[in-house]
A and B are shown apart, each in its own frame.
Chain A
Amino acid sequence: MISVGIDVGAKNINIVVLRFGELIAKGMADSGFEARDNALRLLGEVLAECDLAKDDLDSITSTGSGRKDIDFANHSITDVTAATKGTITLHPEVRTIIDVGAEEGRGIRLDDNGKIVDFAVNEKCAAGSGAFVESMSRALELTIEDFGPLSLESDKEIPMNAQCAVFAESEVISLVHSSTEKKDIAKAITDAIAARVSSMVRKVGFQTEIAVIGGVAYNVGFIRSIQNYLEKDVLIPESPEYVSAFGAALLPGK
């Protein structure tokens, strides 16, 4: 039994290959503007790594905002279902999932059996997603990788007035001009996005354990900020950006 999960996000495609539920290969590529073709190419590469061909697969499950484009999948599931399955398989104790990707953010509340009770999604406004950090880091002339660690060097609380990513960019530039230190601005930005994400999580109600998945989980500054806002520690699964693809692979179609 070999199953594949393909998570097609706005920015990245993540693929996971499982043999009887055990991870045997994974890979990531840009979604680009031809997500289907890029996903097919990535699948070929990932399968080649573990000496498999497409014919060897028992099932391909797609998820993510671009899941409908994957016409070669035999099954597709929602982001919330995939994120939940992936997370509770890795960490059964989790009751709240925070999933922040490039262009979306989700808060999912689970019951004691790991069933979804409620969830909130924002995929319409960049302010609560990875896109916010990305455009701010561009304004600060920092790489995404440097952004989180740099923000950890600051303890200052500079409020960001702008809620919108477009307006926040101008605000960041004027902070730079007024000689505010980059680390303090970076902290203000991680606080801003964490404030938005945490209020979304509050809306669905949260309980420990709390897991953070999606690419933004790598941003250590964001993690610190969200822990401050929720006044709780959060756990981050290994390879948080693959959790939804993993969940999809675990839910094969017939």
Chain B
Amino acid sequence: MIANFGYKDATGEFYIAINTDKCDGCGKCVPVCPSGVLEVRDNEFDPMADEEMAAVTEEQRKKLSFSCSECKAGGSDNLPCVLACPRGAIVHSW
């Protein structure tokens, strides 16, 4: 499953997509984020399975364009969360 966390508003589209076929819930992406955007929790989108996945926290979900701006300043592609993931499960849409 691809879980797109984020939003689209009049200023643009801001999603962090987690691919649960790749993500094994290792949590390496969690501590590297300076804004605390990510956490590991139950895959609530498949209630019959018992797996954990990386996900955007409820608190950050609606303000990604602000929260991620530090890492993206200057148009940088070297995003700590993306680099930290050993399986390439994290993709930013903007």
A50-58, A76-84, A139-147, A195-203 - interface stretch: A195-203
Interface residues on B, range: 10 to 19
> In whole Å, how far is A77's beta carbon from the nearest beta carbon of chain B?
24
Taken together as a complex, chains A and B put the C-alpha atoms of A52 and B9 apart, in Å, by 47
Fill in one digit per residue for A150-194: 1 if any B CB lies within 8 Å of its CB, else 0: 000000000001011000000000000000000000000000000
Q: Which of the residues B63, B66, B73 comes within 8 Å of A205, measured between beta carbons?
A: B73
A-side interface residues, number (CB < 8 Å): 13
The answer on a CB contact under 8 Å between B73 and A125 is no
Closest to A124 in B: B10
Chain B CB within 8 A of A38 CB: no
Chain B CB within 8 A of A122 CB: yes
Taken together as a complex, chains A and B put the C-alpha atoms of A96 and B25 apart, in Å, by 42
Residues 53-69 (chain B) with a chain A CB within 8 angstroms: 62-63, 65-66, 69
> In whole Å, how far is B42's beta carbon from the nearest beta carbon of chain A?
23
Q: Which of the residues A122, A124, A163, A203 comes within 8 Å of B63, measured between beta carbons?
A: A163
The answer on a CB contact under 8 Å between B69 and A124 is no
Residues 1-40 (chain B) with a chain A CB within 8 angstroms: 9-11
- Scoring A124, A125, A161, A203 by chain B CB atoms within 10 A of each residue's CB, the highest score goes to A203
Q: A163-B62, A163-B63 are in contact. Are A125 and B9 (CB under 8 A)?
A: yes
The answer on a CB contact under 8 Å between B10 and A199 is no
The answer on a CB contact under 8 Å between A124 and B11 is yes
Taken together as a complex, chains A and B put the C-alpha atoms of A49 and B47 apart, in Å, by 73
**Which B positions have Cβ atoms within 8 angstroms of A?**
9-11, 62-63, 65-66, 69-70, 73
**Which A positions have Cβ atoms within 8 angstroms of B?**
122, 124-125, 127, 161, 163-164, 195-196, 199, 202-203, 205
